[in-house]
Amino acid sequence: MGLIVQKYGGTSVGTIERILRVADRIITYKEEGHDVVVVVSAMGKSTDVLVDMAKQITPFPSEREMDMLLTTGEQVSISLLAMALHTKGYDAISLTGWQAGVTTEAIHGRARIKQIESKRIQAELGRGRVVIVAGFQGISDEGEITTLGRGGSDTSAVTLAASIGADKCEIFTDVSGVYTADPRMVPAASKLDSISYDEMLELANLGAGVLHPRSVEAAKKYKVRLVVRSSFTAEDGTYVEEVANMETGRVVSGVAHDEDVAKITVVGMPAKVGTLSRLFNTLADNQVNVDIIIQSSYDAAVTNISFTVTGEDLTKALNTLSANQSELGFEKVDYEENLTKVSIVGSGMINNPGVAAEMFRVLAEREISIKMVSTSDIKVSCVIPASLTELAVRSLHSAYGLDVAETAVVHG
């Protein structure tokens, strides 16, 4: 017997049939004697539908009203799942984020969870109920409904598991666990039995969509036992833990890619102390997130600074730079779209020289140009043309011995 938090993504509850299947899985856990708290995302693509409806009214909807709109998606799925359990003879109650005690920052669209007051959840569990909580949402101290941003239901589940002292947090998705690459792109990708928090965090930040980075951060911080599993099979998943029992000899654990990358070069910045500070503080003040940064100088007085942003942030970044050109003192801005960041990740890289050199060799042999490079102890990232993403990912996956004979199964 134990206390288990489960999270089901939009694909897992995308239809009434799938919601009934989720209810059956929950019942299996209840019959084994477990207490179960379930965090649910909006059904299928319903969030995208809501966003599209808003954009048909105005291209620039109020962030507050968008949060009011988008949180309705999760409320549909939690109530339907509760009804499904009721029809099968099991007591369940659905709770919105704020009913479940989730308090967030007073920021719309990307709030962070400040705390979870779990008295209501504990009381409902004490009554023998399955507690079903809407992911992705909470409420600020000012009483405003907020959302956590895309993938926020993962973070809801992990922080909830931490707050109630759950024995395990299971993230159910459309794949059977964490793979060595996206199985949609690399059918020969293999499922990992376990992976460390640090490796998973790198993969998540670098584009692996199976877990949201903030959920991995929370799991590492609060030592939450995290499992990624398929909601369509009974197959064992991947454990994300402090020390992963990885296969001996595997230097690279996985290949990740992020196809939403743009490169900006600020040309002719004054080569003075404080230049970088002024530039990136200006961008930060306008909520532009910057990733890879490279500085290059061609004379003593002037420097060029290149950096990457998401494609979504490109226009905002260019507008911010244009509005602050006089203050920052640069000559012009160049930019390049349709880029991908492809990365290799593995804790075994620390003690194995030549891993980055092998990556560069493989890309060069495929005549894939490298625009920018970023490294850490356990990852190497290269920015490349988006049109060559699949070639790069598959080539690197093979080069580091990650291919298997079986074809990965992805449920849609």
Question: Any binding-site annotation on 272?
Answer: no
239 is in an annotated binding site: no
Task: Tell me whether residue 268 is annotated as binding.
Answer: no
As a whole number of angstroms, the distance between CA 197 and CA 208 comes to: 14
Q: Is 174 annotated as a binding residue?
A: yes
Question: Residue 10, annotated ligand binder?
Answer: yes
Are 340 and 384 in contact by the 8 Å Cβ rule? The answer is: yes
CA 293 to each of CA 204, 341, 372: distance values in angstroms, whole numbers, following the listed order: 20, 13, 9
Q: Which of 227, 231, 224, 183 is nearest to 40 (CA)?
A: 231
Three-state SS at 262: strand
CA–CA distance, 208 with 180 (Å, rounded to integer) = 10
Residue 48 annotated as part of some ligand binding site = no
Give the Cα separation of 397 and 248 in Å (integer): 17
Of 313, 358, 365, 364, residue with least CA distance to 335: 313
Q: Does 173 count as an annotated binding residue?
A: yes
Question: The tokens 């899985």 sit on which residue?
Answer: 25
- Whether 233 has a binding-site annotation, put simply, is no
| Nearest Cα to Cα of residue 15 among 239, 187, 232, 247 | 232
| 3-8 and 35-40 strand pairing | parallel
The verdict on whether residue 47 carries a ligand-binding annotation is: yes
Q: Is 128 annotated as a binding residue?
A: no
Which residues are documented as binding site for substrate? 47, 74
Write out the binding residues for ATP: 7-10, 173-174, 179, 184
Q: Which residue positions form the known binding site?
A: 7-10, 47, 74, 173-174, 179, 184
